[in-house]
Chains A and B, each alone.
Chain A
């Protein structure tokens, strides 16, 4: 098992290295780093001097090493649009994105498991069929349309929920949270639903399939023979065993949730990293794009690694079969 984790960790470093190369290539070749420092009317000679002082005349591999070393210390250069260090901009917006992603995941897991269990237990009922249809529509509709639909219903027509922004936030150290104020919580509802809907349908389908599978197994029949109550069988025995794949999916999807937050944040003008990234793409702000890519890669790789390790702990069967890697 130890060898397995080491191998996965090495793979993770490989991925990060590859992303680092791409990020560096963007930073160095697609955008001109000199333009970050100088203004439009700077004379050519002065530009040349800046170029030299930035080390842009060094051999490219050496520049790459410098870039990685700086990135490891959290220095991603200066944004073209904001004239501020990219790391500060990202750090300022990270809490908003993480809180949104967390709430979306909680929503998706809670409702996904509930709906999945229900449609697994009563798969011919009308409500279960409604769930199935909703999940098909949920997968087909683009995220931004769902968000717009929610805004039209709950903000424009009913006027219950705010249509943009985070509401009031409270500062805890450098972390600004919207979870402690009423307006902050209200502002979280629609973006979380929009972002979590796809994951919810995914979890619902998995839980339903797993429930159907588990209910056919011998130990459930044995539990029935022992005369346990239906409630104890369904929730004590069956549900517990469906949760292993759910944990994996929730973990692996968390990275996607952060990436898809780009769309949700734009629809709701949510001041997070995703909105910053979209503005960077619109305005060709390469340093922000490169840094965002590195950051997302780091989050993805860390989560994948954590899920792999968790999996070997949760499911003992894997510990023995791991010697033959899949």
Chain B
């Protein structure tokens, strides 16, 4: 007997393909707003394309793009991941977020980086002065 499928009207659901962390389980909630990734961040209405995710590259933590933007806008964040306190770097993935949003993200991350570097220089200068004082 021949069974031929002519047409199929299927129903499916989409899910973010999330990175699995060290323990082998993918986080389901955004670490900042505590809403599932498949839902929206607090300022969005529609999930999915309109409210994209950002996957951490240095660490395994993921966030809603809009959530991490808000986090990094604060000086106190110092450009660190809010979960593990490593410097936050993200994976560049095509079509994730608008170019404007990604640009903003890039600017923020670079700003924090510059801040950190300046602090480091000052620290080095301080320690250099200390050294000088000690040699005196």
The answer to whether A binds B is no
